[in-house]
Amino acid sequence: MMINRKILTLDEFTIRQLRQFPKATGELSSLLRDIGLAAKRINVEVNKAGLVDILGDAGSINVQGEDVKKLDIYANTQFTGVLQHGISCAGIGSEELDEIVVFDDEVSNNSKYVVLFDPLDGSSNIDVNISIGTIFGVYRRLSELGKPCTTEDFLQPGVRQVAAGYVVYGSSTMLVYATRRGVNGFTLDPAIGEFCLSHPDMKCPEDGKIYSVNHGNFFQYEEGVRNYINGCQKKDKNNGGPYTQRYIGSMVADVHRNLIKGGIFMYPGTIDKPGGKLRLMYECNPFAFMIEVAGGKATDGKRRILDIQPTELHQRTPFFAGSKNMMEEMETFYTK
């Protein structure tokens, strides 16, 4: 039988990457394997969400004041569980939890990473069969090895991420992750239950034709944003507009599409919520890291997202990210 050895699984790929660093301990590869396992378990439940009593509100409100769906809780438990049982993670911060969880056992206290994640982003879309996702960022802890990790390990600017990624549960399930060396995408082959390298060395096109924003909030945005959006709808000999508007309302799916096709994603501040809606630590930092490694840009309209020093776990930020030239064009409207 012919075996196609051109297809690398997630494990094979991360181990090959590891071999390029003779001093590497393998902890990051092990962590990514753990995340892949949680993603596969969540994927099984997402796929049968319409069939079983796992769909719908769990009846509680999360720390952001939003309804918690049952799958949110399931995804949070799976992620926390695999990271706690693994050998690489000293503690986690989750969008679903008020406080960090310090694992505080002998193995975990000797682990060098902490992970921040949004276990199920876009969960208001679950009951209408729209793509949802998981987002994660990995940081090397600052506290002393051998001791429990601390809040300081989590409140690091995004530029210090060692790796970041997302899983999109869509028409197929994909895990995309970035280290400083590049962004790679893996598609789940359901026949063998493995993530297989399908999108090696992903680059965000420098130009794009898609803009993604919630138009319903248009009159809530500040003038620079409104002018830019108006500009996107005009024919312009410089940018070749008008651009196409695409907004799913599920950040993972919106940014995934723009990363592949080129485009700009925006969640600006509004009059009522100047800090916007998206969470710096769980959503914006991981995507900013991936988009920058892929050649794009990510800002809060004025500052680079990755340079923001977080002051609290659940802080929000306006978010603009995508193709380099579209981002630079948007910035000219902000500074006008």
Residue nearest to ligand AHG (CB): 251
Minimum distance from residue 223 beta carbon to ligand AHG (Å)? 20
Instruction: State yes or no: residue 257 binds ligand AHG (CB under 6 A).
Output: no
Reference 136, options 172, 95, 77; nearest CA is 95
- d(CA 194, CA 249) in angstroms, rounded, equals 28
Per CB under 6 A, which of residues 270..299 are in contact with ligand AHG?
A: 277
Interface pick for ligand AHG out of 121, 292, 300, 329 (rule CB under 6 A): 121
Minimum distance from residue 247 beta carbon to ligand AHG (Å)? 7
Per CB under 6 A, which of residues 161..200 are in contact with ligand AHG?
A: none
Instruction: State yes or no: residue 124 binds ligand AHG (CB under 6 A).
Output: yes
Q: Of 12-20, 178-186, 243-251, 290-298, which part binds ligand AHG (CB under 6 A)?
A: 243-251
Instruction: State yes or no: residue 122 binds ligand AHG (CB under 6 A).
Output: yes
Instruction: State yes or no: residue 249 binds ligand AHG (CB under 6 A).
Output: yes
Instruction: State yes or no: residue 250 binds ligand AHG (CB under 6 A).
Output: yes
Buried b / exposed e along 234-255 (16+ C-beta atoms within 10 A) = eeeeebebebeebbbebbbbbb
Q: Of 6-14, 117-125, 173-181, 294-302, which part binds ligand AHG (CB under 6 A)?
A: 117-125
Reference 77, options 21, 120, 130; nearest CA is 120
Minimum distance from residue 193 beta carbon to ligand AHG (Å)? 27
Minimum distance from residue 72 beta carbon to ligand AHG (Å)? 8
Angle at 265 between CA 155 and CA 76, to 5 degrees: 45
Reference 320, options 213, 167, 190; nearest CA is 213
Minimum distance from residue 50 beta carbon to ligand AHG (Å)? 17
Minimum distance from residue 35 beta carbon to ligand AHG (Å)? 19
Listing DSSP states for 271-322 in one string gives: SS-TT-SSBIIIIIHHHHHHHHHTT-EEESSSSBGGG---SSTT-B--EEEE
Beta bridge partners of 89: 113
Q: Of 82-90, 170-178, 221-229, 247-255, which part binds ligand AHG (CB under 6 A)?
A: 247-255
Strand, helix or coil for residue 185: strand
Q: Which is nearer to ligand AHG, 9 or 220 (CB)?
A: 220
Residues 6+ apart with CB under 8 A from 5: none
Helix (H) / strand (E) containing 190: none
Kindly tell me the sign of the dihedral angle through the C-alpha atoms of 26, 30, 11, 158. negative
Minimum distance from residue 277 beta carbon to ligand AHG (Å)? 5
Beta bridge partners of 167: 134, 175
How many chain residues bind ligand AHG (CB under 6 A)?
11
Interface pick for ligand AHG out of 17, 143, 150, 214 (rule CB under 6 A): 214
Q: Which is nearer to ligand AHG, 254 or 300 (CB)?
A: 254
Neighbours of 41 (CB within 10 A): 17
Listing DSSP states for 149-170 in one string gives: --HHHHS--GGGEEEEEEEEES
Interface pick for ligand AHG out of 11, 66, 127, 331 (rule CB under 6 A): 66
Interacting residues with ligand AHG (CB under 6 A): 66, 121-124, 214, 249-251, 254, 277
